[in-house]
Amino acid sequence: MGDRVLIFDTTLRDGEQTPGVNLNLTEKLEIARQLERLGADVIEAGFAGASLGDFEAVEAISREVRTPVICSLARCLASDIERAAQALSGAAHPRLHVFLASSALHLEKKLHMTQTEALDKAAAGVRLARSLCEDVQFSAEDASRSDPAFLARLYEAVIAEGASTINITDTVGYATANEFSRLVQDLFKLVNGIGRVRVSVHCHNDLGLAVANSLVAVRHGARQVECTMNGLGERAGNAALEEIVMGLNTRRDYYGAECGINTKRLYVSSRLISTLTGQEIPPNKPVIGANAFMHQSGIHQHGVAQDRATYEIMRAEDVGVPAGNAPLGKLSGRHALRDQAARLGFTLTDADLNTAFKRFKELADRKKDVTERDLIALLSGQWVDAPELYHLESYQLFAGNTLTPTATVKIKHGGSTVTEAAVGDGPIDAAYRAVDRITAREARLESYSIRAVTEGQDALGEVTVRVTVADEDGKPPRRALGKGAATDIIEASILAYVNAVNRALIS
C-alpha cells in the first residue's frame, strides 16, 4: 500500500455523537466542504439508516462534495445497507462502511449471537454491500477486546466477499499502545489475503491513548486512520485528526508515512468546527490550542529567540495559526476582506461576502483594527446563522449593585417590531426574560460560555449558549446551540440567545 496514509474523517458521524452536538444540514454541508478543502481522503457523512436527517445529510454531501470518498455507515442489515447505498447514489466516489461487533462480550450480551452466526452475518452484509458499491469497508466493532484468531477468520470472510478496507477498532479506548501494536502485527500475519486490502484503525480516547494507538498502527502497516477534528466523538472522543496529521508530518522519520492533508488549513478548520458544534477548544490542546505555540518560561523565551527549534518541534504557520499580518480597518473594502478570508481558508460566494462584509463593517466601527482572529470568529460564526424569525433591533439595560437589573429589548418579528421589558438576577438574565416574553416561548438556558477572541479592551467577545425551547401542541422540547459575537458581551449574549431560539424553532 506504500507510505501514503489515508485520512478518514468521521467528524460528521462519530463526531456528531459528542454529547450536546446537534448539527443541521447547512452546518454539515459547510463542515464537509471545509474537510474537502483540508484534503481529507474519506468523509464519513453519516449513518444513513439511522434517521431521515442523516439520510438527507449523506445524500446532500454526496451530491455537492466531489473530491473525497463519501462514506455512509451501516449495520450488517439489508435495510441499513440498501438505505446507505441509496443515499450515496449521487456520490462521485461512494463507499459503504458496514460493521459488526466481534468481541465475545458484545456477541453474547448485545447481539445474542455465536461466532459462527457473526461470520455468516458479516459475510452476507459485505456481499450485499459489494453488489451495490465497488468500495466496501468492514469494521469489527470492539476488535481490541476480541479473540485475535476469531478476528482473523472474520476479516478473511469479508475479504473473500469483496471488502477492500478492513478496520481494526479500539471502540472503548481499552488497549495500551503495546497491545494494539501487537494486535495489528498479529493480524497482518494471521489474515489470509490481508495484502490485497487496506488496513484501517479507529481508536477512541477513553484512556487518552487514541492518537498513540493510531500512530503505532501506522508504524506497523495500517494505511488509513479514522479520526475527527478536535478529537470529537462518543464519551472522551476519537483520535484527533490534527494530532495524527502533525504526528505523521513531524516524525516522518519514525513512522515512515505521510498524508495529503493541507496542514495550513488545520487551524481554521478546527475553529470552524468548534463554532458549529459549540465545543470549545482547551487552551492546552495539542497543535491547535491557544497555548500550543506560547512560551511562558524565561528560559524557553530566550531559547526561542535564539532558534525556534529549541522549544518548537513544529511551526505555528505550518498549521495555519494567524501570523498577525496587517489588520483590516473600517476603510478596508470588499476585495481586501475576500482576499484575507481566502488566505485564512474561507471561500466566500458573492452572497457570503455580502453578509460577511456587513458584519465586518459593524465590527470595524467599534474596533480600531480587525485582526485575523476576529475574522476567523466572524466568518466561522456566519455558518451558525438560522433564518431569523426574530431579529434583535436594540436593547437597554439598567443594572448595578444597588439596582434591580432591568432590560428592555426590541425585536423585529415578521413585519412588526415588539418591545418588552423584564427584570432578572442580572442584566443578561433580565434580557433573556424579555426575549422570552416577545417569543411567548418558555426557553431554559442549559449552558452559557464566553471567551475573548483577541486581547485588549476592545476584544471581540464570543458567547455560546445552549437552550431548550418548549414546543406547542404537546411536542417534545427542542434543544439548540446559539452563537453571538460582539465587542459588547451583553450584546453578544443576547445575539447568541436569539440565535439559539431561532434555530430551535426552525429545526
Give the residue-averaged pLDDT of 305-317. 88
Give residue 5's pLDDT: 98
Question: The dihedral of CA 298, 303, 308, 312: what is its sign?
Answer: negative
Residue 301 is predicted with a pLDDT of 77
What does the pLDDT average to over 475-499? 89
Q: What is the third-level CATH fold of 6-277? A: TIM Barrel (3.20.20)
Instruction: Give residue 386's pLDDT.
Output: 59
Query: Beta-carbon neighbour count of residue 243 at 10 Å?
Result: 22
What is the average pLDDT across 177-185? Answer: 98
Q: Is the pLDDT of residue 473 over 90?
A: no
Average pLDDT, the chain: 91
Rounded to 5 degrees, φ, ψ at 407 are: -125, 140
User: Of 130, 200, 191, which Cα lies nearest the Cα of 165?
Assistant: 200
Summarised one tens digit per residue, pLDDT across range 116-146 is 999 999 999 999 999 999 999 999 999 999 9
- Judged against a pLDDT cut of 90, whether residue 308 lies above it is answered with no
Domain range annotation of the chain: 6-277, 322-382, 385-506
Q: Which residues contact 285 (CB under 8 A, 6 or more apart)?
A: 230, 292
The answer as to CATH 3.40.228.10 being correct for domain 385-506 is no
What is this structure's pTM? 0.87
